[in-house]
């Protein structure tokens, strides 16, 4: 079986969020030959995240210049190729019409309300707000049955060994990712510190995941919590997303704002407490193996500082409770 999946391009954030979809695609068709087509640019699946999809994707085509111009309707974008299944992950109608020129037996697309798709959802089906859920809608249409996200990333031994050196066996490690792309999405750092201190009193070792924009917080956090660990700042080389994923696999749970680091931790299989204020959890929540969402709206506002410490602490305890 030959499968083609079209996406415009993948930057790091997009690629991380789509990982459960890519891995579920392979688990659904374990013997298929799967081609990933980045028609409008580069994809991290051919770059930094390539090791995470090497067992899922047989071929990656990037910078293909497919899906942008009406003149492409006059030709087959991939002459000489035929696919049993073509999944179009975007919704721009012109791009979808161009992709339909590629020879295929079954075409799945959500563009124009699925009117250009070989198969459609049942009447009354509502488009889910989350991008990943929309991708799984397409996957389920193609498969003809429900498909669950898959959390089975295979990291190379070098990354697992590095993470183990940074977080040796023994303690129960709890992760804290206090950063986010904008200040309005950050729960106050003082509350992260108070939460970590309370967890330390319970015998759990706090691990802070700081990106380049938060590295200057290390001194302040270390002064307040001398026992805190900073695995992404311990090595001279810039931290790789693969190291963050490996660290995630050594955490009992983590607390993160709506951020790229939160999505990386979830992709690594870490149980997550995810904090939301001005952004919508329904659209942006990470795809975690176990997830507790705490939203400012529950407490009468949209600012992150209305989220009380007690609510986040309770969510942590629920995650750590044996399932």
- The pLDDT tens digits for 235-284 are 766 778 999 999 999 999 999 999 999 999 999 999 999 999 999 999 99
Low-confidence ranges of the chain (pLDDT < 50): none
Asked which of 102, 117, 143 is the last residue of a domain, the reply is 143
Determine, yes or no, domain membership for 148.
no
Quote the distance between the C-alpha of residue 211 and its chain's center.
16
**Range list of H helices, the chain:** 12-28, 50-53, 93-99, 111-114, 131-143, 157-166, 189-201, 218-224, 241-248, 260-267, 281-284, 309-320
Residues 122, 179, single domain; the answer is no
Same domain, 116 and 211: no
Q: What does the radius of gyration of the chain's CA atoms come to, in whole angstroms?
A: 21
Q: Where residue 12 sits, what CATH number does that domain have?
A: 3.40.50.2000
Structural domain includes residue 150: no
**The pLDDT value given to residue 213:** 86
pLDDT score of 212: 86
- What is the model's pLDDT at position 322? 78
Residue entry with tokens 């929540």: 285
Asked if residue 253 belongs to a domain, the reply is yes
Q: Looking at the domain assignment, is residue 151 inside a domain?
A: no
d(CA 286, CA 82): 35
Q: Are residues 122 and 187 in the same domain?
A: no
Provide the residue range defining the domain that includes 215: 157-320
């Amino acid at each position: 079986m030959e499968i083609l999946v079209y996406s415009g391009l993948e930057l790091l954030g997009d690629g991380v969020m789509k990982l459960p979809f890519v891995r579920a695609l392979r688990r659904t068709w374990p013997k298929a030959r799967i081609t990933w087509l980045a028609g409008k640019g580069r994809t991290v699946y051919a770059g930094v995240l390539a090791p995470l999809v090497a067992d899922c994707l047989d071929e990656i085509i990037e910078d293909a210049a497919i899906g942008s111009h009406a003149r492409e309707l006059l030709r087959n974008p991939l002459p000489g190729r035929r696919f049993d299944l073509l999944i179009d992950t975007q919704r721009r109608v012109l791009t979808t019409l161009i992709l339909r020129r590629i020879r295929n037996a079954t075409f799945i697309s959500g563009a124009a309300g699925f009117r250009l798709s070989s198969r459609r959802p049942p009447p009354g089906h509502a488009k889910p707000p989350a991008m990943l859920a929309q991708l799984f809608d397409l996957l389920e249409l193609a498969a003809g049955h429900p498909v669950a996200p898959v959390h089975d990333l295979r990291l190379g031994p070098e990354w697992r060994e590095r993470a183990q050196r940074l977080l040796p066996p023994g303690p129960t490690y709890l992760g804290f990712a206090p950063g986010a792309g904008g200040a309005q999405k950050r729960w106050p750092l003082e509350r992260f510190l108070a939460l970590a201190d309370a967890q330390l009193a319970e015998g759990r070792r706090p691990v802070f995941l700081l990106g380049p924009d938060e590295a200057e917080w290390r001194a302040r956090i270390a002064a307040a919590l001398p026992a805190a660990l900073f695995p992404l700042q311990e090595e001279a080389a810039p931290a790789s997303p693969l190291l963050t994923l490996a660290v995630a696999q050594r955490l009992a749970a983590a607390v993160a704002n709506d951020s790229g680091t939160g999505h990386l931790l979830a992709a690594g299989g870490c149980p997550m407490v995810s904090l939301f204020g001005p952004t919508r959890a329904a659209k942006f929540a990470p795809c975690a193996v176990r997830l507790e969402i705490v939203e400012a709206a529950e407490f009468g506002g949209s600012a992150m500082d209305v989220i009380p410490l007690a609510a986040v602490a309770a969510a942590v305890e629920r995650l750590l409770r044996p399932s």
